[in-house]
Structure 1
Amino acid sequence: MNAPMIEPDLIVRREGSAGVVRLNRPKALNALTLEMARGLDAALTEFGADPAVALILIEGAGERGLCAGGDIVGLYNSAREGGDLGAVFWREEYVMNARIAKYPKPYVAYMDGFVMGGGVGIAGHGSHRIVTEKTRIAMPEVGIGFFPDVGGTWLLSRSPGEIGTYFGLTGETMNGADAIHARFADAHVPTSAWAELRAALIAAPAGADADQVRSIIAGFAATPEPGPAQLHGRQIDAWFAHDTVEEIFADLERDGSEFALATLKAMRGKSPTSLKVALKLLRMARGAATLEQCLVHEYRAALEVFRSADFVEGIRAAVIDKDRAPKWQPARIDEVTPQIVARYFADRGVEELKFPD
């Protein structure tokens, strides 16, 4: 009796005129490993050189989502052992994120179900980003002692008003409608229409350009009802306009509404250091001219995160022991000094990111 064939974590193949990349770790919600990131980068090279490939299609195996983020258990183990996986993984991942943003062929990301962290990095910079009624997008990194990365600070800082600041500092989840409003997505397609849309994309003419692909998607798209964050846009813009976490907290406390207090509670559970670092990165991103500038700032900060107690503790509490009771160091916002924050923005003289032309 033959043993069942074990599929790889990343499935890369031609289907019609589409270069299809399927993240294939459904039991881990397709969390991205270093090997998968390298495989995706290699696929972009292969499909980019193939004149028969009109577009790239990124999808996730299983029914739960595209990608839950990076392989944080592997990063946790490396950080505890003093390894360098973080430096290597983030360097290669961030360069790939920049490459996706500049990819010369239409890059279609199907963001059905959960899309978090690193999943945003492989989908949010694409040229054609599709969400559904099941989409749940989040950048919850401040809850594990980290911050929105993979170019997330670039995306969040370009959302209208302060909605990006809100999502970056609370880690709250966007539905499909809020994702379009926050400029993380382009089209809302019901899951019931996906099979037919997918077939249409695969059948696209070999020379199809971005406008033609957009037209194909538009034929299956629908307009969703406004998302909850959009409906609270005026309040969010007022509360999160400040440049310090302390002022944001104070405004939320003064407001006292149910939504304000829920927002405050969400933020108070996060790493105080991460909140301050994330807010500074978001404000820096607002003035950045390119995605690459944001990725460099994120990389420098990530190297300090990998050395910090909060990163290991955050993953322990959320994923390893799952007690949801992290002990942050420092434990309070007012204990996070400017000197602590400054460590995340130091030029360490390390190898910088080398982006594609």
Structure 2
Amino acid sequence: MAAMGSGKPDTDEVLFECRGRLGVITLNRPRAVNALTAGMASAMLEQLRLWAGDDTVEAVLVRGSGERGLCAGGDIVAIYRDMLDGGNATAAFWAEEYTLNSLISNYPKPYVAFMDGLVLGGGVGISAHGSVRIVTERTRLGMPETTIGFVPDVGGTLLLSRAPGEAGTHAALTGAHLNAADAVFLGFADSFVPSAKLADLAKALESEPVDSAVARFAEEAPPSGLAGQAWIDACYAGTDAEEIVRRLRAFDGQAQEEAAKAAEAIAAKSPTAVKVTLESLRRVKGLSLEKALEQEYRVGLRFVAGPDFREGIRAQVVDKDFAPDWQPATLAEVSDEDVESYFAPLGNRELILSKEHNNV
């Protein structure tokens, strides 16, 4: 999930320049860990469309300013305030942002993302759909939406559904932060480059073909702790969230402690968000990114209208009491009919995306 903000492009908060053959996008809100605003998304969308038709630009690089990360998602307090006012600005922003995510996925030129530091929510949307995704030893990636009573969006459900085995389900339901090795294993990233070498790689991209430049700086990523974890596949199979938690709590093996921690993490999340997230992951399998984004938009607007998204932001960010009052309070109280209602058509509010929609 990413932030809202003014619909007018804030070009001081996202910078564009051409360096040799390379178009460079720099998210420029370091104090906010480069959280996206609606203006930033609009500006990126406009500039990427221009560069797509510019023969002097052969590749694009997106990176974050400062030392803390590419993008830590967004200003969820702004979304909270908008929800109290009806949520119309949030709906408009997501439509723009998801169009940007689709454009990045279908971009006709190499799109390189430096996924250094924090890469959360909307930061995943502007990086993990690119064609060349670079992580470092500092990468902390995640889709932590269930913590605030929401579901993964910006195409995150599709990415998580494509992960090996049930590792994506584990990441989605627990909202865990992932390191570089995990990001590569799950399919969110392609190559590992030490953070100290990113500046040199960026310089090389100004004049060299992307593949050869990346190959020159890339190193073997360390092994992921998620790889080869049979307990994850065994515990997270199926569509019953209550059964998943039961299996995690009952797991008796070498990973017993890890499984128990996962169960407690899921139990602390919004029960509605957990169940709708799980259903989203199952329904999105085999869909295109555009159809996945349309589903996420439909589900997201239902969360804007419901109680848990607001309550999650209140507890985690506004009041910071970290004691959300989820409604309903338990997984057992969230019925199949409740879950199904989040996927019902929106009528004339539907988001319709296609590859052709981006006009590149």
> Normalized against structure 2, the TM-score is what?
0.93
Q: How far apart, in 1, do the equivalents of 2:337 and 2:239 lie?
A: 17
Q: How far apart, in 2, do the equivalents of 1:104 and 1:71 lie?
A: 30
Q: How far apart, in 2, do the equivalents of 1:276 and 1:193 lie?
A: 41
CA deviation map 1:10-67 (0-9, x unaligned): 1111122111111111111111111110011011012112111111100001100000
2:157 is matched with 153
Q: How far apart, in 2, do the equivalents of 1:80 and 1:352 lie?
A: 22
Is the CA contact (8 Å cut-off) linking 1:166 and 1:240 kept in structure 2? Answer: yes
1:287 positional shift: 3.4
Q: How far apart, in 1, do the equivalents of 2:217 and 2:286 lie?
A: 36
1:281 is matched with 280
1:33 to 2:37 alignment? yes
1:52 to 2:51 alignment? no
2:243 is matched with 247
Q: 1:192 and 1:96, CA in 2 relative to 1: closer, same or farther beyond 3 A? A: same
Q: Which amino acid aligns with 1:309?
A: P
1:225 to 2:206 alignment? no
Structure 2: gaps (5+ residues): 1-9
Which segment drifts farther, 106-115 or 264-273? 264-273
Q: How far apart, in 2, do the equivalents of 1:117 and 1:87 lie?
A: 16
Structure 1: gaps (5+ residues): 1-5, 205-211
Q: How far apart, in 1, do the equivalents of 2:325 and 2:212 lie?
A: 50
Q: How far apart, in 2, do the equivalents of 1:225 and 1:287 lie?
A: 30
1:324 is matched with 322
1:295 positional shift: 0.8
Which segment drifts farther, 77-86 or 114-123? 77-86
Q: Which amino acid aligns with 2:104?
A: I
Query: Matched residue of 1:230: which SS?
Result: coil
1:7 positional shift: 7.8
Is the CA contact (8 Å cut-off) linking 1:91 and 1:353 kept in structure 2? Answer: no
2:260 is matched with 261
Is the CA contact (8 Å cut-off) linking 1:99 and 1:355 kept in structure 2? Answer: no
Q: Which amino acid aligns with 2:239?
A: D
Q: Alignment RMSD, CA only? A: 1.4
Is the CA contact (8 Å cut-off) linking 1:151 and 1:291 kept in structure 2? Answer: yes
Q: Which amino acid aligns with 2:185?
A: H
2:117 is matched with 113
Q: Percent identity of the aligned residues?
A: 48
Is the CA contact (8 Å cut-off) linking 1:273 and 1:336 kept in structure 2? Answer: yes
1:300 is matched with 298
Is the CA contact (8 Å cut-off) linking 2:139 and 2:180 kept in structure 1? Answer: yes
Q: How far apart, in 2, do the equivalents of 1:153 and 1:130 lie?
A: 20
Which segment drifts farther, 32-41 or 247-256? 247-256
> Normalized against structure 1, the TM-score is what?
0.93
1:200 is matched with 204
CA deviation map 1:299-323 (0-9, x unaligned): 1001101111101111111111122
2:73 is matched with 69
Total equivalences in the alignment: 343
Q: 1:164 and 1:60, CA in 2 relative to 1: closer, same or farther beyond 3 A? A: same
